[in-house]
Amino acid sequence: MSNPKTALVISAHAADFVWRCGGAIALHQKLGYEVTVACLSFGERGESARLWKEGKSLDEVKAIRRKESENAAVALDVHDIQFLDLGDYPLDLGEEAQARVVDIIRAVQPRFMLSHSQYDPYNTDHMRTTEFVLTCRMIAQAWGHNPGEKVLGAPQLYLFEPHQTEQMGWKPDTFLDITEVWDKKRAAIECMEGQHHLWDFYTNVAENRGNHFRRNSGGQAGGRAAKYAEGFQSVFPRTVDEL
């Protein structure tokens, strides 16, 4: 395609893109988008407790987590998944990481981007990622950064659902119906073998967001029968031709 529809997910740790926006990924692939996922780390140190308890080495943990994420990406029909291997807890978000992510943004030219909540006292990797993404978005828009490259427009940045929404000050303003791709999301979730305790948690989330979708699309007077949904918070205002 000369001008495909594209989207970019920036995930602090390997599995974040699955729990938090797996439905959006699969749905937009179905809608003809090419969705790229950039995993800044494998979540190897901080989000792989079971593997460490089993005595795996760092390289083993990273390999296993990478494999799980690749499997999940396949389940979601991801167009491209990239692992930046920046280390986790904490992420190294220095100049080199910045240059790489700006390059990815410019290469993808996303119509919209997805990343973490702006506050997370449990996990500062998440909130630092979002500020980092805003900086990279800004650089990608600069005509003087690598002059000659195609500059970025003004894609929306959606913040996907964090683990404890209220503690993060995250407020969804957009619910997306993912009913038709739910099976793909559940399949991707089940690729995350070290985190069984979250499988049902995020299934519950999807069901309850489905309820919220129905409430906000008409409620008891005929809200649409979405069974599963995902919620997102927009950073930037929308520009529209009709309310």
| 2: contact with its own copies by CB under 8 A | no
| 174: contact with its own copies by CB under 8 A | yes
Which neighbouring-strand residues pair with 157?
Answer: 113
Single residue of 4, 96, 173, 196 touching its own copies by CB under 8 A? 173
Q: Which residue, 92 or 183, is less far from its own copies as judged by CB?
A: 92
Pairwise CA distance, residues 10 & 24, whole Å:
13
Stretch of 9-17, 68-76, 78-86, 153-161 contacting its own copies, by CB under 8 A = 153-161
Whether 137 and 105 have beta carbons less than 8 Å apart is answered as yes
Report how far apart, in Å, the C-alpha atoms of 94 and of each of 14, 99, 128, 132, 135 are: 19, 9, 11, 9, 12
The site that binds its own copies (CB under 8 A) totals a number of residues, namely 90
Single residue of 78, 108, 152, 189 touching its own copies by CB under 8 A? 152
Pairwise CA distance, residues 24 & 20, whole Å:
9
Pairwise CA distance, residues 243 & 72, whole Å:
36
| 59: contact with its own copies by CB under 8 A | no
Pairwise CA distance, residues 3 & 6, whole Å:
9
Per the structure block, which two tokens stand in for 122? 């449990």
| 240: contact with its own copies by CB under 8 A | yes
| 242: contact with its own copies by CB under 8 A | yes
| 94: contact with its own copies by CB under 8 A | no
Q: How far is the CB of 77 from its own copies (least distance, A)?
A: 16
Match 């002059």 to its residue by tokens. Answer: 147
Whether 78 and 26 have beta carbons less than 8 Å apart is answered as no
Sequence-distant (≥ 6) Cβ neighbours of residue 39 within 8 angstroms: 11, 13, 14, 16, 17, 69, 81, 82, 83, 84
Site string for its own copies, 61-80 (x = CB under 8 A): x-------------------
| 225: contact with its own copies by CB under 8 A | no
Site string for its own copies, 13-42 (x = CB under 8 A): -----------x--xx--x-----------
Interface of this chain with its own copies, residues 100 to 119, rule: CB under 8 A:
112
| Alpha-helical runs (H) found in 76-141 | 95-108, 124-140
Interface of this chain with its own copies, residues 184 to 213, rule: CB under 8 A:
197, 200-201, 204-205, 207-208, 211-213
Single residue of 66, 145, 186, 227 touching its own copies by CB under 8 A? 145
Q: Which residue, 1 or 143, is less far from its own copies as judged by CB?
A: 143
Stretch of 12-20, 72-80, 181-189, 229-237 contacting its own copies, by CB under 8 A = 229-237
Whether 11 and 39 have beta carbons less than 8 Å apart is answered as yes
